Structure 1
């Protein structure tokens, strides 16, 4: 009998505790002077992120700014507050993006976003991409893709072709090329029908799109190829070495050239350092390069002087001031 009474008492205690009223809280924000900026009326709040905070009310989420204004009403099931944009969504509905720009929330909703820089955000709407600039101005989404953003320019794709736009949406390079490399040192390389050219930042064609290889400028010159012949252009497109050689390659600060099966050296202004007569010129090491002439090896310096006349059966690169050579004995 005693055991039954104890069990009944335990049940009464537990039931009474469960029925106790839980405390209810409301949340808001105050500034550093103690002024209540966001009134304590929300069921939940999160920290501010770049000027905006998520709040909850009656099971729904919204957003307030630092003035206390509810810039997004509490009508969403979920809101994610990112540094540069806010993602809003409801159950069974596609998420949408609102862009932050200089403490201003752009009220237009987008399908996707990505940061291109600290000031420029790419936005996607109806499968097309555009931009939101630092003051919240929209550059209308019309491009199929935004490939790259560097400094003040972005490579864009439209109808399978590529171009370049600046940060205010001006098409500096129209999207008519098969491939475009973004501006570097004031110029951009463009490709069309496997031919290459160069366009400046003001949209001027510096080098016509007619060369067969990509450009590599070093010290304001570039080796180019046209109809299987090589020459040199300056960075304004002027031909400083005629397109007449069968091959060209940089060899330190000189250019190695080939005519037929013979090699020589020129400088970047086209001045001949050595005549085109050697069977081989290897890369310069310690200021000297191995040369081959009539099956014999020697060394040449950057002035074109044969430091070691070709007379050895084999020679290796200089290292620590010495170059290994070989002769055959006992024939």
Structure 2
């Protein structure tokens, strides 16, 4: 009996001894030469993300850069290290954003942030949006909304109106329009009071805001509509085809027009390719389009030539060089 008691006592003493010798660790970083960049003084440390790492000390979090400098002191309950910004927060306090710019952590705190492009970050402060430009300068938050950058420009909203700014904050298109499309091929469509126009990247009004449809430029020309009539403008806003047709639509690289109940084809200079005499012109396939004239079907090519005279009861699109036609036989 005594022997058993002694064994139990030894086990208790050994277990207590192990607990009293429990090890503790401190963390840091070394570079490839073995140089200690971040000293081993932190209770915890996370991997670097875009030049910065979160560290923990005495239950609080901070941030160090790659030189070992503590750019954010260990005073926060939680820190999230994202690619373009760092989010810091304490209990019972709203989170704040610090922006990274070219391996530099900007000191001003924002209420929210979002990525507009690899170089541009939108920031929100006191319910207004601005952005950090390509060199890390702040474009003062003053807009109600910033829409994603595309090709160096962003659509912005202010007091219910829209405009366009460039990547250094210059208002290329002032926020005075009901709607704005971002620049495409050097031009932006704007809308005001249900009328449309076009502005160039230089801020020049190329097409006055007076047309009735949302148009676009292709091959330096655009279809426009005014008072239910259609025409064609060049990219200087000049009417190269008068606004006289009842309808117009792009058909491959030609323009299909309508006058009254008849259809024809013109090119972008207004030259008539196929007379405005057809009851129907379908889309070009393999360079050939089905046409209908006086109830009969045939085919025209892009030179307006009737390669098959309209004499069939039905015709289908060309495919692999052939087009299906139908003709009634017998009674």
TM range (shorter): over 0.9
Matched, 1:217 2:210: no
1-structure distance, mates of 2:289, 2:19 = 94
Structure 1 residues 263 and 134 mapped into 2: Cα distance closer, same or farther (>3 Å)?
closer
Q: Deviations over 1:136-191 (max 9, x none)?
A: 21111111111121121111111111111111111111111111111111111111
2:190–2:196 Cα contact (<8 Å) kept: yes
**Alignment-derived partner of residue 28 in structure 2:** 28
Deviation at 1:52, TM superposition (A): 1.4
Deviation at 1:288, TM superposition (A): 2.1
**Alignment-derived partner of residue 298 in structure 1:** 298
**Alignment-derived partner of residue 104 in structure 1:** 104
Segment of structure 1 superposing worse, 222-231 or 37-46: 37-46
**Alignment-derived partner of residue 163 in structure 2:** 163
Structure 1 residues 235 and 128 mapped into 2: Cα distance closer, same or farther (>3 Å)?
same
**Alignment-derived partner of residue 308 in structure 2:** 308
Structure 1 residues 137 and 240 mapped into 2: Cα distance closer, same or farther (>3 Å)?
same
Matched, 1:197 2:208: no
Task: Point out where structure 1 has 5 or more consecutive residues left out of the alignment.
Answer: none
Deviation at 1:57, TM superposition (A): 1.2
Structure 1 residues 320 and 154 mapped into 2: Cα distance closer, same or farther (>3 Å)?
same
Number of residue pairs the alignment of both structures matches: 331
**Alignment-derived partner of residue 325 in structure 2:** 325
Q: Deviations over 1:96-117 (max 9, x none)?
A: 1100111111111111111111
Partner of 1:249, secondary structure, is: strand
1-structure distance, mates of 2:298, 2:115 = 57
Deviation at 1:39, TM superposition (A): 2.2
2-structure distance, mates of 1:29, 1:319 = 67
TM-score by structure 2 length?
0.94
Structure 1 residues 195 and 14 mapped into 2: Cα distance closer, same or farther (>3 Å)?
farther
**Alignment-derived partner of residue 243 in structure 1:** 243
**Alignment-derived partner of residue 124 in structure 1:** 124
Partner of 1:32, secondary structure, is: coil
2-structure distance, mates of 1:228, 1:257 = 13
Structure 1 residues 15 and 313 mapped into 2: Cα distance closer, same or farther (>3 Å)?
closer
Segment of structure 1 superposing worse, 26-35 or 66-75: 26-35
Structure 1 residues 275 and 121 mapped into 2: Cα distance closer, same or farther (>3 Å)?
same
Partner of 1:218, secondary structure, is: coil
Task: Point out where structure 2 has 5 or more consecutive residues left out of the alignment.
Answer: none
**Alignment-derived partner of residue 91 in structure 1:** 91
Structure 1 residues 108 and 271 mapped into 2: Cα distance closer, same or farther (>3 Å)?
same
Structure 1 residues 242 and 34 mapped into 2: Cα distance closer, same or farther (>3 Å)?
same
Deviation at 1:32, TM superposition (A): 3.1
2-structure distance, mates of 1:268, 1:34 = 69
1:129–1:142 Cα contact (<8 Å) kept: yes
Segment of structure 1 superposing worse, 250-259 or 2-11: 2-11
Aligned 1:226-305 pairs, distance under 5 A:
226-305=226-305
Deviation at 1:22, TM superposition (A): 1.7
Deviation at 1:62, TM superposition (A): 0.8
**Alignment-derived partner of residue 45 in structure 2:** 45
**Alignment-derived partner of residue 60 in structure 2:** 60
2-structure distance, mates of 1:67, 1:290 = 72
2-structure distance, mates of 1:90, 1:36 = 30
- RMSD value over aligned CA atoms? 1.8
Deviation at 1:199, TM superposition (A): 0.6
1-structure distance, mates of 2:319, 2:150 = 41
Segment of structure 1 superposing worse, 124-133 or 284-293: 284-293
2:117–2:148 Cα contact (<8 Å) kept: no
